Amino acid sequence: MPARLSEAFINHPVHLNQNHVDFNSAKEVPDSYTWPPIHDDSSPADYGYDVDSSVPVIDLSDPISSVKGQISHACESWGVFQITNHGVPTDLLEKVQTEGKRLFSLPLQQKLKAARAPDGISGYGVARISSFFPKLMWSEGFTIAGSAVDHARKLWPQDYINFCEVMEEYEKEMKLLAGRLMWLMLGSLGINKEDLQWAGPEGKFKDSCGALQLNSYPACPDPDRAMGLAAHTDSTLLTVLYQNSTSGLQVTRDGGKWVTVPPISGALIVNIGDLLHILSNGRYPSVLHRAVVNRKCHRLSVAYLYGPPMHVQISPLSKLVNLNNPPLYRSVTWSEYLGTKAKHFNKALSSVRLCAPLNGIIDVKDHNRVKVG
Ligand SMILES: C=C1C[C@]23C[C@@]1(O)CC[C@H]2[C@@]12CCC[C@@](C)(C(=O)O1)[C@H]2[C@@H]3C(=O)O
Ligand SMILES: O=C(O)CCC(=O)C(=O)O
Ligand SMILES: [Fe+2]
Protein backbone atom coordinates (compact mmCIF):
# COMPACT_ATOMS: atom_id res chain seq x y z
CA MET A 1 0.00 0.00 0.00
CA PRO A 2 1.64 3.30 -0.99
CA ALA A 3 2.22 5.76 1.82
CA ARG A 4 1.25 8.82 -0.18
CA LEU A 5 -1.31 9.40 -2.87
CA SER A 6 1.28 10.69 -5.34
CA GLU A 7 3.27 7.43 -5.07
CA ALA A 8 0.23 5.40 -5.99
CA PHE A 9 0.27 6.67 -9.53
CA ILE A 10 3.84 6.07 -10.56
CA ASN A 11 3.46 3.83 -13.63
CA HIS A 12 -0.27 4.09 -13.15
CA PRO A 13 -2.99 6.03 -14.90
CA VAL A 14 -2.36 9.74 -14.94
CA HIS A 15 -4.56 11.61 -12.48
CA LEU A 16 -5.36 15.03 -13.88
CA ASN A 17 -7.30 16.02 -10.83
CA GLN A 18 -8.52 14.23 -7.76
CA ASN A 19 -11.26 12.23 -9.48
CA HIS A 20 -10.22 11.77 -13.08
CA VAL A 21 -7.81 9.23 -14.41
CA ASP A 22 -6.50 8.61 -17.91
CA PHE A 23 -7.49 4.94 -18.26
CA ASN A 24 -5.64 4.50 -21.54
CA SER A 25 -2.26 4.71 -19.85
CA ALA A 26 -3.14 2.22 -17.08
CA LYS A 27 -0.82 -0.78 -16.75
CA GLU A 28 -2.35 -1.87 -13.45
CA VAL A 29 -5.27 -0.91 -11.26
CA PRO A 30 -4.30 1.71 -8.66
CA ASP A 31 -5.24 1.10 -5.04
CA SER A 32 -7.89 3.83 -5.21
CA TYR A 33 -9.69 1.73 -7.88
CA THR A 34 -9.23 -1.67 -6.26
CA TRP A 35 -12.43 -3.37 -5.07
CA PRO A 36 -12.68 -6.76 -3.38
CA PRO A 37 -12.67 -9.56 -6.03
CA ILE A 38 -16.01 -9.49 -7.82
CA HIS A 39 -16.21 -12.63 -9.92
CA ASP A 40 -16.25 -15.22 -7.15
CA ASP A 41 -20.05 -15.12 -7.13
CA SER A 42 -20.63 -15.94 -10.79
CA SER A 43 -22.86 -18.91 -11.61
CA PRO A 44 -23.66 -21.14 -14.59
CA ALA A 45 -26.39 -18.60 -15.31
CA ASP A 46 -23.64 -16.32 -16.56
CA TYR A 47 -23.20 -18.62 -19.49
CA GLY A 48 -26.90 -18.86 -20.33
CA TYR A 49 -27.26 -22.66 -19.85
CA ASP A 50 -30.60 -22.42 -18.15
CA VAL A 51 -33.54 -20.62 -19.75
CA ASP A 52 -35.12 -19.83 -16.37
CA SER A 53 -31.98 -18.13 -15.21
CA SER A 54 -31.57 -16.00 -18.34
CA VAL A 55 -32.97 -12.51 -18.66
CA PRO A 56 -36.09 -12.77 -20.89
CA VAL A 57 -35.89 -11.65 -24.52
CA ILE A 58 -39.19 -10.32 -25.91
CA ASP A 59 -39.92 -9.88 -29.61
CA LEU A 60 -42.15 -6.81 -29.81
CA SER A 61 -43.49 -7.97 -33.19
CA ASP A 62 -45.20 -10.97 -31.52
CA PRO A 63 -48.99 -10.77 -31.11
CA ILE A 64 -49.87 -8.09 -28.53
CA SER A 65 -51.51 -10.50 -26.05
CA SER A 66 -48.38 -12.65 -26.08
CA VAL A 67 -46.13 -9.58 -25.64
CA LYS A 68 -48.20 -8.41 -22.65
CA GLY A 69 -47.98 -11.85 -21.03
CA GLN A 70 -44.22 -12.02 -21.53
CA ILE A 71 -43.77 -8.47 -20.22
CA SER A 72 -45.86 -9.19 -17.13
CA HIS A 73 -43.75 -12.30 -16.36
CA ALA A 74 -40.47 -10.47 -17.01
CA CYS A 75 -41.46 -7.48 -14.86
CA GLU A 76 -42.73 -9.56 -11.95
CA SER A 77 -39.87 -12.00 -11.82
CA TRP A 78 -36.88 -10.13 -13.25
CA GLY A 79 -37.47 -6.37 -13.44
CA VAL A 80 -35.48 -6.44 -16.66
CA PHE A 81 -35.80 -7.83 -20.18
CA GLN A 82 -34.36 -7.40 -23.65
CA ILE A 83 -36.47 -6.35 -26.64
CA THR A 84 -36.03 -7.07 -30.32
CA ASN A 85 -38.01 -5.63 -33.26
CA HIS A 86 -38.47 -2.44 -31.24
CA GLY A 87 -38.54 -0.14 -34.26
CA VAL A 88 -35.45 1.94 -33.42
CA PRO A 89 -33.42 2.03 -36.66
CA THR A 90 -30.19 0.03 -36.54
CA ASP A 91 -28.27 2.79 -38.29
CA LEU A 92 -29.30 5.22 -35.53
CA LEU A 93 -27.94 2.81 -32.90
CA GLU A 94 -24.71 2.64 -34.88
CA LYS A 95 -24.49 6.43 -35.14
CA VAL A 96 -25.02 6.78 -31.38
CA GLN A 97 -22.22 4.30 -30.81
CA THR A 98 -19.88 6.13 -33.20
CA GLU A 99 -20.57 9.50 -31.56
CA GLY A 100 -20.16 8.01 -28.08
CA LYS A 101 -16.78 6.53 -29.02
CA ARG A 102 -15.73 9.84 -30.59
CA LEU A 103 -16.54 11.61 -27.33
CA PHE A 104 -14.75 9.24 -24.96
CA SER A 105 -11.65 8.93 -27.15
CA LEU A 106 -10.97 12.66 -26.83
CA PRO A 107 -7.98 13.58 -24.64
CA LEU A 108 -8.98 13.80 -20.98
CA GLN A 109 -8.09 17.52 -20.81
CA GLN A 110 -10.57 18.19 -23.61
CA LYS A 111 -13.34 16.14 -21.96
CA LEU A 112 -12.78 17.99 -18.71
CA LYS A 113 -13.70 21.23 -20.49
CA ALA A 114 -17.24 19.85 -20.59
CA ALA A 115 -17.16 18.62 -16.98
CA ARG A 116 -20.45 18.37 -15.11
CA ALA A 117 -20.82 21.25 -12.65
CA PRO A 118 -20.92 20.10 -8.97
CA ASP A 119 -24.63 20.90 -8.75
CA GLY A 120 -25.39 20.18 -12.43
CA ILE A 121 -26.86 17.23 -14.32
CA SER A 122 -25.37 17.47 -17.82
CA GLY A 123 -21.76 17.01 -18.81
CA TYR A 124 -18.71 14.76 -18.47
CA GLY A 125 -17.70 13.12 -15.21
CA VAL A 126 -17.09 10.14 -12.97
CA ALA A 127 -20.05 7.97 -11.92
CA ARG A 128 -22.36 10.16 -9.87
CA ILE A 129 -22.74 7.42 -7.24
CA SER A 130 -18.96 7.45 -6.59
CA SER A 131 -19.42 9.56 -3.48
CA PHE A 132 -21.10 6.61 -1.71
CA PHE A 133 -18.06 4.37 -2.08
CA PRO A 134 -14.52 4.47 -0.77
CA LYS A 135 -13.19 3.18 -4.12
CA LEU A 136 -13.41 4.72 -7.57
CA MET A 137 -15.09 3.12 -10.56
CA TRP A 138 -13.48 2.08 -13.84
CA SER A 139 -15.71 4.20 -16.03
CA GLU A 140 -16.49 7.68 -17.24
CA GLY A 141 -19.82 9.15 -18.22
CA PHE A 142 -21.51 11.94 -20.11
CA THR A 143 -25.05 12.99 -19.22
CA ILE A 144 -27.38 14.87 -21.55
CA ALA A 145 -30.48 16.42 -19.96
CA GLY A 146 -32.09 18.84 -22.41
CA SER A 147 -29.91 20.28 -25.15
CA ALA A 148 -26.37 18.91 -25.53
CA VAL A 149 -25.19 22.00 -27.43
CA ASP A 150 -23.46 23.91 -24.62
CA HIS A 151 -21.37 20.94 -23.49
CA ALA A 152 -20.72 19.55 -26.98
CA ARG A 153 -19.43 22.96 -28.13
CA LYS A 154 -16.79 22.78 -25.40
CA LEU A 155 -15.70 19.34 -26.63
CA TRP A 156 -15.61 20.18 -30.35
CA PRO A 157 -15.78 23.98 -30.83
CA GLN A 158 -15.95 23.60 -34.66
CA ASP A 159 -17.65 20.28 -35.01
CA TYR A 160 -20.36 19.68 -32.42
CA ILE A 161 -23.47 19.67 -34.63
CA ASN A 162 -23.41 16.03 -35.72
CA PHE A 163 -23.11 14.83 -32.12
CA CYS A 164 -26.07 16.98 -31.06
CA GLU A 165 -28.25 15.93 -34.02
CA VAL A 166 -27.62 12.23 -33.43
CA MET A 167 -28.34 12.48 -29.69
CA GLU A 168 -31.49 14.53 -30.32
CA GLU A 169 -32.81 12.03 -32.83
CA TYR A 170 -32.01 9.16 -30.47
CA GLU A 171 -33.74 10.86 -27.57
CA LYS A 172 -36.89 11.36 -29.68
CA GLU A 173 -36.94 7.67 -30.63
CA MET A 174 -36.35 6.67 -27.01
CA LYS A 175 -39.20 8.85 -25.75
CA LEU A 176 -41.64 7.23 -28.19
CA LEU A 177 -40.41 3.73 -27.35
CA ALA A 178 -40.56 4.38 -23.59
CA GLY A 179 -44.18 5.61 -23.89
CA ARG A 180 -45.08 2.46 -25.82
CA LEU A 181 -43.36 0.26 -23.22
CA MET A 182 -45.15 2.09 -20.41
CA TRP A 183 -48.55 1.17 -21.88
CA LEU A 184 -47.49 -2.43 -22.41
CA MET A 185 -46.37 -2.65 -18.78
CA LEU A 186 -49.34 -0.74 -17.36
CA GLY A 187 -51.74 -2.62 -19.65
CA SER A 188 -50.39 -5.89 -18.28
CA LEU A 189 -51.38 -4.62 -14.80
CA GLY A 190 -54.91 -3.75 -15.97
CA ILE A 191 -54.24 -0.01 -16.04
CA ASN A 192 -55.65 2.06 -18.89
CA LYS A 193 -55.48 5.66 -20.10
CA GLU A 194 -58.26 6.91 -17.79
CA ASP A 195 -56.29 5.70 -14.76
CA LEU A 196 -53.27 7.85 -15.49
CA GLN A 197 -54.18 11.52 -15.96
CA TRP A 198 -50.59 12.71 -16.22
CA ALA A 199 -50.06 10.64 -19.39
CA GLY A 200 -52.04 13.42 -21.13
CA PRO A 201 -55.37 13.43 -23.04
CA GLU A 202 -54.23 10.89 -25.64
CA GLY A 203 -52.00 8.96 -23.25
CA LYS A 204 -48.88 10.00 -25.17
CA PHE A 205 -46.76 10.95 -22.16
CA LYS A 206 -45.96 14.21 -23.97
CA ASP A 207 -44.67 15.95 -20.81
CA SER A 208 -42.55 13.06 -19.56
CA CYS A 209 -38.90 13.77 -18.80
CA GLY A 210 -35.81 11.90 -19.88
CA ALA A 211 -32.03 12.05 -19.85
CA LEU A 212 -29.32 10.24 -21.81
CA GLN A 213 -26.41 8.75 -19.93
CA LEU A 214 -23.43 7.65 -22.05
CA ASN A 215 -21.15 5.26 -20.15
CA SER A 216 -17.65 4.28 -21.19
CA TYR A 217 -15.82 1.32 -19.62
CA PRO A 218 -12.23 1.11 -20.82
CA ALA A 219 -10.45 -2.25 -21.00
CA CYS A 220 -8.98 -2.92 -17.58
CA PRO A 221 -5.68 -4.65 -16.67
CA ASP A 222 -7.26 -6.40 -13.63
CA PRO A 223 -11.02 -6.67 -14.24
CA ASP A 224 -11.70 -8.92 -11.22
CA ARG A 225 -10.58 -6.14 -8.92
CA ALA A 226 -12.23 -3.20 -10.64
CA MET A 227 -15.87 -2.11 -10.75
CA GLY A 228 -17.39 -0.42 -13.81
CA LEU A 229 -20.52 0.90 -12.15
CA ALA A 230 -21.50 -0.25 -8.65
CA ALA A 231 -24.82 -1.94 -7.91
CA HIS A 232 -27.76 0.44 -7.96
CA THR A 233 -31.35 0.79 -9.02
CA ASP A 234 -32.40 3.65 -11.31
CA SER A 235 -34.78 6.31 -10.00
CA THR A 236 -36.74 6.18 -13.23
CA LEU A 237 -40.06 4.71 -14.31
CA LEU A 238 -38.03 2.66 -16.75
CA THR A 239 -34.62 2.77 -18.38
CA VAL A 240 -33.86 1.71 -21.95
CA LEU A 241 -30.24 0.64 -22.32
CA TYR A 242 -28.20 0.12 -25.45
CA GLN A 243 -24.98 -1.84 -24.96
CA ASN A 244 -22.38 -2.51 -27.67
CA SER A 245 -21.20 -6.03 -28.41
CA THR A 246 -19.18 -6.29 -25.18
CA SER A 247 -20.95 -7.74 -22.13
CA GLY A 248 -20.78 -6.08 -18.72
CA LEU A 249 -24.29 -5.45 -17.43
CA GLN A 250 -25.32 -7.77 -14.59
CA VAL A 251 -28.58 -7.98 -12.66
CA THR A 252 -29.73 -9.81 -9.55
CA ARG A 253 -33.01 -11.53 -8.95
CA ASP A 254 -34.36 -11.47 -5.38
CA GLY A 255 -30.92 -10.68 -4.07
CA GLY A 256 -29.51 -13.87 -5.65
CA LYS A 257 -26.46 -14.33 -7.84
CA TRP A 258 -25.39 -11.86 -10.48
CA VAL A 259 -26.64 -12.74 -13.96
CA THR A 260 -24.99 -11.28 -17.05
CA VAL A 261 -27.28 -9.71 -19.65
CA PRO A 262 -25.70 -10.99 -22.88
CA PRO A 263 -25.36 -8.54 -25.77
CA ILE A 264 -27.77 -9.34 -28.62
CA SER A 265 -27.09 -7.45 -31.81
CA GLY A 266 -29.73 -4.75 -32.33
CA ALA A 267 -31.58 -5.50 -29.07
CA LEU A 268 -32.29 -2.99 -26.31
CA ILE A 269 -32.50 -3.71 -22.58
CA VAL A 270 -35.41 -2.41 -20.52
CA ASN A 271 -35.18 -2.19 -16.76
CA ILE A 272 -37.68 -1.11 -14.17
CA GLY A 273 -36.82 1.87 -12.01
CA ASP A 274 -37.92 2.93 -8.54
CA LEU A 275 -40.83 5.12 -9.71
CA LEU A 276 -42.53 2.23 -11.53
CA HIS A 277 -41.88 0.13 -8.44
CA ILE A 278 -43.81 2.76 -6.45
CA LEU A 279 -46.55 3.24 -9.09
CA SER A 280 -47.16 -0.52 -9.27
CA ASN A 281 -47.15 -0.76 -5.45
CA GLY A 282 -44.19 -3.15 -5.59
CA ARG A 283 -45.74 -5.51 -8.19
CA TYR A 284 -43.03 -4.58 -10.70
CA PRO A 285 -39.87 -4.19 -8.59
CA SER A 286 -36.95 -2.07 -9.66
CA VAL A 287 -33.93 -4.18 -10.49
CA LEU A 288 -30.54 -3.96 -8.84
CA HIS A 289 -27.84 -3.87 -11.52
CA ARG A 290 -24.17 -3.14 -11.99
CA ALA A 291 -21.57 -3.03 -14.77
CA VAL A 292 -18.36 -5.05 -14.67
CA VAL A 293 -15.34 -4.49 -16.89
CA ASN A 294 -13.07 -6.76 -18.88
CA ARG A 295 -9.42 -7.06 -19.84
CA LYS A 296 -9.64 -6.84 -23.62
CA CYS A 297 -12.50 -4.71 -24.86
CA HIS A 298 -13.71 -1.23 -24.33
CA ARG A 299 -17.45 -1.21 -23.56
CA LEU A 300 -19.95 1.53 -24.31
CA SER A 301 -23.51 1.77 -23.07
CA VAL A 302 -26.17 4.42 -23.50
CA ALA A 303 -29.02 4.62 -21.00
CA TYR A 304 -32.23 6.54 -21.61
CA LEU A 305 -33.54 7.40 -18.16
CA TYR A 306 -37.28 7.91 -18.45
CA GLY A 307 -39.50 9.50 -15.85
CA PRO A 308 -42.79 11.37 -15.43
CA PRO A 309 -43.11 15.16 -15.61
CA MET A 310 -40.82 16.42 -12.82
CA HIS A 311 -43.54 17.76 -10.50
CA VAL A 312 -46.28 15.13 -10.87
CA GLN A 313 -47.02 13.21 -7.66
CA ILE A 314 -46.33 9.50 -8.16
CA SER A 315 -48.01 7.08 -5.76
CA PRO A 316 -49.33 3.50 -5.92
CA LEU A 317 -52.15 3.35 -8.49
CA SER A 318 -55.52 3.16 -6.79
CA LYS A 319 -56.57 0.17 -8.94
CA LEU A 320 -53.69 -1.82 -7.45
CA VAL A 321 -54.49 -0.92 -3.87
CA ASN A 322 -57.13 -2.58 -1.64
CA LEU A 323 -57.58 -3.92 1.89
CA ASN A 324 -55.25 -6.83 1.19
CA ASN A 325 -52.79 -4.68 -0.68
CA PRO A 326 -52.42 -1.41 1.20
CA PRO A 327 -50.34 1.35 -0.40
CA LEU A 328 -46.72 0.61 0.36
CA TYR A 329 -45.24 3.98 -0.61
CA ARG A 330 -46.07 7.61 -0.01
CA SER A 331 -46.43 9.90 -2.98
CA VAL A 332 -43.34 11.60 -4.31
CA THR A 333 -42.40 13.70 -7.36
CA TRP A 334 -39.48 12.66 -9.56
CA SER A 335 -37.78 15.91 -8.68
CA GLU A 336 -38.06 15.12 -4.95
CA TYR A 337 -37.06 11.48 -5.46
CA LEU A 338 -33.89 12.38 -7.39
CA GLY A 339 -32.90 14.52 -4.40
CA THR A 340 -33.65 11.62 -2.03
CA LYS A 341 -31.60 9.27 -4.22
CA ALA A 342 -28.68 11.67 -4.31
CA LYS A 343 -28.76 11.73 -0.50
CA HIS A 344 -29.68 8.15 0.46
CA PHE A 345 -28.67 6.21 -2.69
CA ASN A 346 -29.86 2.57 -2.44
CA LYS A 347 -31.90 3.32 0.69
CA ALA A 348 -34.03 5.94 -1.12
CA LEU A 349 -36.88 3.53 -1.88
CA SER A 350 -37.19 2.32 1.72
CA SER A 351 -37.11 5.95 2.84
CA VAL A 352 -40.44 6.61 1.07
CA ARG A 353 -42.00 3.34 2.23
CA LEU A 354 -45.17 3.65 4.34
CA CYS A 355 -45.49 0.32 6.11
CA ALA A 356 -43.01 -2.38 6.86
CA PRO A 357 -43.53 -5.55 4.81
CA LEU A 358 -44.94 -8.55 6.71
CA ASN A 359 -41.81 -10.63 6.14
CA GLY A 360 -39.67 -7.84 7.49
CA ILE A 361 -37.58 -7.60 4.34
CA ILE A 362 -37.10 -4.04 3.20
CA ASP A 363 -37.06 -3.41 -0.59
CA VAL A 364 -33.62 -3.45 -2.09
CA LYS A 365 -30.86 -4.94 -0.04
CA ASP A 366 -27.51 -3.30 -0.45
CA HIS A 367 -25.55 -5.76 -2.54
CA ASN A 368 -22.44 -3.70 -2.93
CA ARG A 369 -19.59 -5.43 -1.27
CA VAL A 370 -17.78 -2.24 -0.47
CA LYS A 371 -19.84 -0.17 1.90
CA VAL A 372 -19.37 3.14 3.56
CA GLY A 373 -20.86 4.41 6.82
C1 LIG B 1 -32.17 11.54 -14.51
C2 LIG B 1 -31.20 11.02 -13.80
C3 LIG B 1 -31.20 9.64 -13.27
C4 LIG B 1 -29.79 9.49 -12.71
C5 LIG B 1 -29.51 10.86 -12.22
C6 LIG B 1 -29.94 11.70 -13.43
O7 LIG B 1 -30.10 13.05 -13.09
C8 LIG B 1 -28.94 11.55 -14.58
C9 LIG B 1 -28.08 10.29 -14.45
C10 LIG B 1 -28.82 9.10 -13.85
C11 LIG B 1 -27.88 8.08 -13.26
C12 LIG B 1 -27.24 7.11 -14.26
C13 LIG B 1 -26.33 6.12 -13.49
C14 LIG B 1 -26.99 5.54 -12.24
C15 LIG B 1 -27.69 6.66 -11.41
C16 LIG B 1 -28.19 6.11 -10.07
C17 LIG B 1 -26.76 7.83 -11.29
O18 LIG B 1 -26.03 8.08 -10.36
O19 LIG B 1 -26.88 8.67 -12.40
C20 LIG B 1 -28.74 7.31 -12.27
C21 LIG B 1 -29.58 8.41 -11.63
C22 LIG B 1 -30.85 7.85 -11.02
O23 LIG B 1 -31.52 7.03 -11.64
O24 LIG B 1 -31.12 8.25 -9.89
O1 LIG C 1 -23.50 0.20 -18.56
C2 LIG C 1 -24.40 -0.50 -18.14
O3 LIG C 1 -24.61 -1.62 -18.56
C4 LIG C 1 -25.30 0.00 -17.02
C5 LIG C 1 -25.49 1.48 -17.03
C6 LIG C 1 -26.45 1.92 -15.98
O7 LIG C 1 -26.86 1.15 -15.15
C8 LIG C 1 -26.93 3.31 -15.95
O9 LIG C 1 -26.45 4.15 -16.75
O10 LIG C 1 -27.80 3.58 -15.10
FE1 LIG D 1 -28.57 1.99 -14.04
- Residues of the chain with pLDDT > 90, as a percent, come to 80
Note the pLDDT of residue 25.
75
Q: How many CB atoms lie within 10 A of CB 141?
A: 21
Who lines ligand 1 at CB under 6 A? 121, 128-129, 143, 211, 213, 232, 234-236, 305, 338, 341
Span 281-317, pLDDT tens digits: 999 999 999 999 999 999 999 999 999 999 999 999 9
Distance 73 CA to ligand 2 centre (A): 23
Q: How many CB atoms lie within 10 A of CB 219?
A: 17
H or E element that contains 186: helix 161-187
Q: What angle do CA 48, 53, 55 make, to 5 degrees?
A: 80
Note the pLDDT of residue 51.
52
- 8 A C-beta contact, residue 149 and residue 166: no
Reply yes or no on whether the pLDDT at 92 is more than 70: yes
Average pLDDT, the chain: 88
Note the pLDDT of residue 119.
87
Note the pLDDT of residue 133.
96
Which range (42-56, 77-91, 182-196) has the least confidence?
42-56
Reply yes or no on whether the pLDDT at 48 is more than 70: no
Average of per-residue pLDDT across 85-109:
97
Note the pLDDT of residue 26.
80
- 8 A C-beta contact, residue 16 and residue 108: yes
Span 214-237, pLDDT tens digits: 999 999 999 999 999 999 999 999
Asked if 116 is an active-site residue, the reply is: no
Query: Which residue, by CA, sits nearest to atom 6 of ligand 2?
Result: 303
Of ligand 2's atoms, which has the minimum distance to the CA of residue 271? Answer: 7
ipTM of the complex, rounded to two decimals: 0.98
Note the pLDDT of residue 16.
44
Note the pLDDT of residue 8.
26
Span 100-151, pLDDT tens digits: 999 999 999 999 999 999 889 999 999 999 999 999 999 999 999 999 999 9
Neighbours of ion ligand 3 (CB under 5 A): 234
Reply yes or no on whether the pLDDT at 1 is more than 70: no
Give strand pairing partners of 301: 215, 243
Reply yes or no on whether the pLDDT at 362 is more than 60: no
Reply yes or no on whether the pLDDT at 69 is more than 90: yes
Which range (38-42, 47-51, 168-172) has the least confidence?
47-51
CA 286 to chain centre: 11
Q: How many CB atoms lie within 10 A of CB 176?
A: 14
- Residues of the chain with pLDDT > 70, as a percent, come to 86
